[in-house]
Amino acid sequence: QVQLVESGGGLVQPGGSLRLSCVASGSIFNHNAMGWYRQSPQSPTKQRELVAHITRDGSTNYAEAVTGRFTISRDNAKNTVYLQMNSLKPEDTAVYYCNADPDYYSTLDAFIASWGQGTQVTVSA
């Protein structure tokens, strides 16, 4: 059974920093690329968007909105993926989730059911 546990969110002022952590069950972490997603009720589509992605060997990609400010990393020995967020902006306010790539899951229902609770990030003065 897939288990994803995010932590590290909180309230921070604009320009501040946070470091998010996600511990994933071994079966999902060991063989897969991982991503950090976020979902905000203020977003036009209200869809969960991928903001950072890291492959099994450490190659990374970022959404344009966070490039240069966020850094994704992983510790394979600890089954943990991190998101260092610097120069935070109010528009970064969202619930942040981690997950493997959708193609890890055998069905769409399994992917939908896999999400953890997420961690709330609020950027406000």
Decide: helix, strand or coil at residue 104. helix
pLDDT score at 120: 97
Average pLDDT over residues 15-42: 89
Q: Degrees (nearest 5) of the Cα angle 78, 28, 6? A: 60
d(CA 68, CA 66): 6
User: Does residue 25 surpass a pLDDT of 90?
Assistant: no
Q: How many CB atoms lie within 10 A of CB 54?
A: 21
- Maximum distance among all Cα pairs of the chain, rounded to whole angstroms: 43
Q: In which band, very low, low, confident or very high, does the pLDDT at 2 lie, cut at 50, 70 and 90?
A: confident
Average pLDDT over residues 55-81: 95
pLDDT score at 103: 85
Residue type, 35: G
User: Does residue 80 surpass a pLDDT of 90?
Assistant: yes
Q: In which band, very low, low, confident or very high, does the pLDDT at 6 lie, cut at 50, 70 and 90?
A: very high
pLDDT score at 60: 97
User: Does residue 87 surpass a pLDDT of 90?
Assistant: yes
Q: In which band, very low, low, confident or very high, does the pLDDT at 102 lie, cut at 50, 70 and 90?
A: confident
Average pLDDT over residues 42-58: 87
